[in-house]
Amino acid sequence: MRREYDTFVSRGDEIPLNQVIDLNIRELTPDDRKKKYRYRYVRANMTENSAEADVLWLLSKTTGYRYSRPLSINILEDLGEFKSFRREDLEGTTKADKTEYEAPAAM
C-alpha cells in the first residue's frame, strides 16, 4: 500500500529531485491512527510521481496551500523525530560569528 506524507516548502520547486536530502515530513496514512500527523525527520529521495513509490504532498509554508502535483518519496533512513531549524543553522553561521566583539579599552 502506498503511504502518503506531506511537507512544508517556501516554493513548489524548492525540493531537489533525484537527490538524497534530509527532510521533515508528516505522516498522513500511518498503521496506527493515533500517530496520524506525526512528524518524522528522514533521509529520502524525491522523484516525479511514480506508481510504486510513496506520495509526498507539498504545502506552502505561508498559506498552507497544497500544490496540485505530488512527488514520489523513497525513504532511505529514519533520522528520528521532528527537527526544527533556525536560519542560523541553515546558513552555517550565527550572529556572533558575523560580528566580532571587541572589549572597550580600559580608561
User: What is the secondary structure of 26-58 as a DSSP string?
Assistant: EESS-SSGGGTT-EEEEEEEEES--SSSEEEEE
100 pLDDT above the threshold of 50: no
- pLDDT, tens digit (0-9, with 9 covering 90-100), for 43-87: 999 998 778 889 999 999 888 889 888 899 999 999 876 666 555
Distance between CA atoms of 37 and 26, rounded to whole angstroms? Answer: 5
Q: Report how far apart, in Å, the C-alpha atoms of 59 and of each of 27, 62, 95 are.
A: 13, 9, 30
- Shortest CA distance to 12 belongs to which of 63, 54, 86? 63
Residue 88's pLDDT is: 56
Residue 97's pLDDT is: 46
- Model pTM? 0.70
Q: DSSP class of residue 98?
A: H
Residue 13's pLDDT is: 78
